[in-house]
Amino acid sequence: MSTQTLTIARLGAQGDGIAETEDGPVYAPFTLPGESAALAVNKSHGTLISLREASPDRVEPHCRHFGPDGENGTCGGCTLQHAGDPLYQTFKRDLVINALKSKGLKPDVAPLITAHPGERRRAVFTARKTEKDLLLGFNQAESHHIVAISECPVASPGIVSRLATISKIGAAMAVNAEPFRITVLETLSGLDLSVDGIKGFGDRERRRTVETVLGERGIARVSLNGEIIVEPTKPIIEFGGVAVSPPPGGFTQATLAAEEAMAALVLDHIGKAKRVADLFAGSGTFALRMARKARVHAVEGEDKALKALDFAARNTQGLKPVTIEKRDLFRRPLMAQELKVYDAIVFDPPRAGADVQCQEIARSGVKKVVAVSCNPITLARDLAILVAAGYRITSVTPIDQFLWSAHVEAVATLEK
């Protein structure tokens, strides 16, 4: 390890500043382009010691837990609180532009739809029982160290105001000092806590958990490894006015604002389509909205999510018919012949993307396609498959819902 003063040339894909040296790039978290920084350099990693010259794009962090001088350690929940909005928003948009360019695609990319503090309705905390109480927070980057938090400007006030309650429930559930995860979703009927990673949970912990939850207000459900432990009331979220009770730990978009922006782009592109296939449909984020105007066939590999979608569709008046199909689209994609009957296709896969399914979409010739993605790299790969088959990209819109992180969503629309 050596101490070096280096000039930061650019931001990397993970939000770290990058300095070019004779020995290769050095990645330095919490630095910005144009800054001169004293770094403790260990191979390709630089730890910020001090700034010799700060960038005009640098701003004061929003949270006491952020950065190398963060309270209780360096919280790994955010990476870019120190970047001003113009630089930060350009960085996020460029993640999408550069991924597309890597596959030879150069469509117009719209300005970033921005995220704001306090919008995150879903947060994943790390917890660990201590001798005194429960340590609740986020892991330091590339570390098992848990940074205990007392605030979080990213999360919704409904979550932040209940941190003490979440800690109390976590302490009741903990069996030993092994760390575990608590995913918290703010729903219309209360917080939904989905806990993973606790082993040896027995009758004593179950009774203690139920008593603790029933003694608190505003908790809709607590589950462990997918099993409901206690459910004072059904957790309810709405997809375009359709009430849905998602399964324990089921996927939901992290912010309502981002979800609505994505849905608006999807609905606008499918237009007056009468029959739509929604692939990787989850609990119905898009399917139930589209069903206001079109017949929808929703395909999803996760059984509990599909059942939640089906129940919501069957119990909501005014929807067009919604059919469901449980199917692993990675191993058994809908074939081109099956897809030909639809006027439009929407797909929203996990980070791995949907290359095998896209090959069938490409052969189907369906006129309108919408790709929703949380990974610009796999999105670019999937779009390249469709473009090679004669589809034209009509719009690409980057959407921020993981504020001050290096993650960005995107919605791309295509026509044959």
Q: Quick one: three-class SS letters along 84-103?
A: CHHHHHHHHHHHHHHHHHCC
Three-class SS of 41-72 = EECCEEEEEEEEECCCCECCCCCCCCCCCCCC
* Contact by Cβ (8 Å): 358, 380: no
Nearest to 334 by CA among 286, 289, 301, 295: 301
Neighbours of 407 (CB within 10 A): 18
Known catalytic membership, residue 78: no
Neighbours of 343 (CB within 10 A): 17
Structural element, H or E, at residue 74: none
Spatial separation of the C-alpha atoms in residues 286 and 289, rounded to whole Å: 5
> What are the phi and psi torsion angles at 342 (to 5°)?
-100, 150
Q: Which of 75, 152, 358, 374 is catalytic?
A: 374
Q: What span, in angstroms and rounded, lies between the C-alpha atoms of 261 and 110? A: 13
Q: What distance in Å separates the CA atoms of residue 381 and residue 410, rounded to the nearest whole number?
A: 13
Task: List 255's β-bridge partners, or say none.
Answer: 120
For 304, the token pair is: 């509990």
Assess contact for 283 and 307: CB atoms under 8 A.
Answer: no
The answer to whether residues 379 and 355 touch, using CB atoms and an 8 Å cutoff, is no
Sequence-distant (≥ 6) Cβ neighbours of residue 123 within 8 angstroms: 152, 154, 155, 159, 183, 184
> Is residue 138 helix, strand or coil?
strand
Alpha-carbon span 371 to 365, nearest angstrom = 15
CA dist 281 and 299 (Å) reads 6
| Torsion angle, alpha carbons of 178, 65, 376, 367, to 10 | 90
Strand partners, 82: none
DSSP state of 226: T
Distances (CA, A) of 93 to 46, 112, 197: 26, 6, 35
Query: Which residues are identified as catalytic?
Result: 374
